[in-house]
């Protein structure tokens, strides 16, 4: 396999050549002298920039097994650069005619991936903004009712509830980190909840809430369902394979709204999120006017169905190009996720066989959680922190991990026989979202075991 640079150089050359051909059609003009820069000064500044950028972790390398971070696919970079040279704005159709069409195309593909037919949706700058829009619509539909989400859902939901002025209800989870359905139904009986947020891949453990069972609760209670699939959404491509239960994923098509982040498993640069609604009529909650914006077309402008105004058309171009080459199929983009999933399951098995490491929870997607073999929670916490710190600071053979804090009760729910001398402990957490992790796993495991020793 060629390196990223080897792939990208000829693609960027083609991008520049194509752009020059297009720009030449409009005739020559003189660039203003105020924009002129000296090559020597630019070179020096670029070298300084490169030096400053060294203060980063190697997100591209499988020895980085910490957070949900990795570079975009080189083809996404090429697609972004091609559009960025023009810098279209996908707020209004005249701001980005071509990329607005691309955005509609990729949003339709995302909707189809989840089983939506008719829909309304658009790209956003992040999953946070996408979830804000979904909860905003939830508030408009049920203005006097609250929003429920699990205690293990992303913290954005409690924050957004405060922002939009609705009551948020944190629902307990079971011993696997999934929303407790008995607790949810008890809350629904109170009549206080209009929308339930289910998570398709929690950012802590990678747990998928029982979406299908929450959908079934609508037979007895009247409420809307929003799916936060920001992290896990693309796993719908391989649901039913790789040991992934298809039932929750198949039920997503029966939910009212969905959020997914292409800048996570979709191989895109930040920021590229997306929000989808099953009912296009929710567009009425976005209605607004601008005397100088929406005049070039009677067709719906993307800015008329978005809370954000200016948005980069380059994000749509990058995703469009990526999905053209790695389509939303099990043997397309799905193959990228399948490799990470296999690596996670295999690492869990290796950890389970180790005398120095203990699994915290079996991975459902591609997040692995584990801790050093210690007898007390305080010792587990101290050893986990030490392993993370020593791994990152090793200049010769670094490994980059992250931690997750778990309460004493959570350890007990998982049958972990550690003395609860404190109220909780940090465990180690690794997101294997790079497919290269599959081939690197033996080395990664060996290095982490050595840190535990």
What is the DSSP track for 152-220?
Answer: TS-THHHHHHHHHT--EEEEPB-TTS-B-HHHHHHHHHTT-EEEEEEEBS-TTT--B--HHHHHHHTTT
How are beta strands 224-229 and 257-260 bridged, if at all?
parallel
pLDDT digits (tens, 9 = 90+) for 94-123: 788 999 999 999 999 999 999 999 999 999
Task: Return the pLDDT at 229.
Answer: 98
pLDDT for position 416? 96
How far apart CA 142 and CA 439 sit, in angstroms, is 49
| Residues of the chain scoring pLDDT < 50 | 292, 294
Could you read off the pLDDT of 322-347 as tens digits, one per residue?
Answer: 999 999 999 999 999 999 999 999 99
What pLDDT is attached to residue 289?
A: 60
Angstrom distance (rounded) from CA 104 to CA 85: 21
- Per-residue pLDDT, 301: 63
User: What's the rounded Cα separation, in Å, for the pair 368 and 204?
Assistant: 10
| pLDDT reported for residue 158 | 96
Query: In this structure, what token pair is assigned to residue 273?
Result: 């999120």
Q: pTM for this one?
A: 0.95
Q: Which two tokens stand for residue 348?
A: 């869990």
Closest CA to 135 of 90, 185, 77, 193: 193
Sign for the pseudo-dihedral over CA of 312, 318, 323, 328: negative
């Amino acid at each position: 396999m060629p390196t990223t640079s080897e792939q990208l150089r000829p693609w960027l050359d083609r991008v520049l050549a194509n752009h020059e051909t297009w720009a030449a059609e409009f005739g020559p003009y003189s660039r203003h002298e105020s924009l002129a820069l000296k090559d020597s000064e630019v070179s020096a500044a670029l070298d300084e920039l490169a030096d400053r950028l060294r203060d980063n972790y190697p997100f591209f390398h499988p020895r980085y097994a910490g957070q949900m971070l990795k570079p975009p696919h080189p083809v996404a970079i090429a697609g972004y650069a091609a559009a960025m040279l023009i810098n279209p704005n996908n707020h209004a159709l005249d701001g980005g005619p071509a990329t607005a069409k691309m955005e509609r195309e990729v949003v339709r593909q995302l909707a189809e991936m989840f089983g939506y037919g008719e829909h309304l949706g658009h790209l956003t700058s992040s999953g946070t903004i996408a979830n804000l829009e979904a909860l905003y619509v939830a508030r408009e539909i049920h203005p006097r009712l609250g929003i429920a989400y699990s205690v293990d859902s992303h913290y954005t939901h409690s924050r957004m509830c405060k922002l939009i002025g609705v009551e948020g209800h944190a629902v307990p989870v079971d011993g696997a980190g999934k929303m407790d359905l008995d607790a949810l139904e008890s809350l629904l009986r109170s009549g206080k909840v209009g929308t339930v947020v289910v998570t398709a891949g929690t950012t802590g453990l990678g747990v998928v809430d029982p979406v299908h069972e929450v959908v079934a609760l609508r037979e007895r209670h009247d409420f809307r369902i929003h799916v936060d699939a920001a992290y896990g959404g693309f796993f719908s491509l391989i649901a039913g394979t790789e040991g992934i239960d298809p039932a929750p994923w198949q039920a997503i098509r029966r939910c009212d709204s969905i959020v997914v982040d292409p800048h996570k498993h979709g191989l895109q640069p930040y920021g590229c999120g997306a929000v989808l609604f099953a009912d296009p009529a929710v567009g009425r909650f976005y209605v607004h006017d601008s005397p100088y914006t929406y005049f070039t077309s009677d067709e719906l402008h993307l800015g008329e169905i978005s809370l954000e105004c200016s948005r980069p058309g380059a994000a749509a171009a990058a995703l469009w190009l990526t999905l053209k080459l790695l389509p939303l199929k099990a043997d397309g983009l799905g193959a990228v996720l399948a490799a990470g999933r296999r690596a996670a399951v295999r690492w869990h098995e290796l950890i389970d066989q180790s005398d120095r490491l203990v699994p915290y929870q079996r991975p459902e997607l591609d997040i692995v959680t584990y801790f050093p073999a210690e007898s007390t929670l305080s010792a587990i916490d101290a050893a986990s922190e030490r392993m993370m710190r020593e791994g990152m600071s090793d200049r010769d053979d670094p490994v980059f991990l992250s931690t997750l804090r778990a309460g004493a009760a959570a350890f007990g729910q998982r049958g972990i026989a550690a003395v609860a001398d404190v109220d909780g402990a940090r465990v180690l957490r690794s997101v294997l979202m790079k497919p290269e992790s599959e081939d690197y796993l033996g080395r990664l495991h060996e290095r982490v075991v050595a840190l535990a020793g």
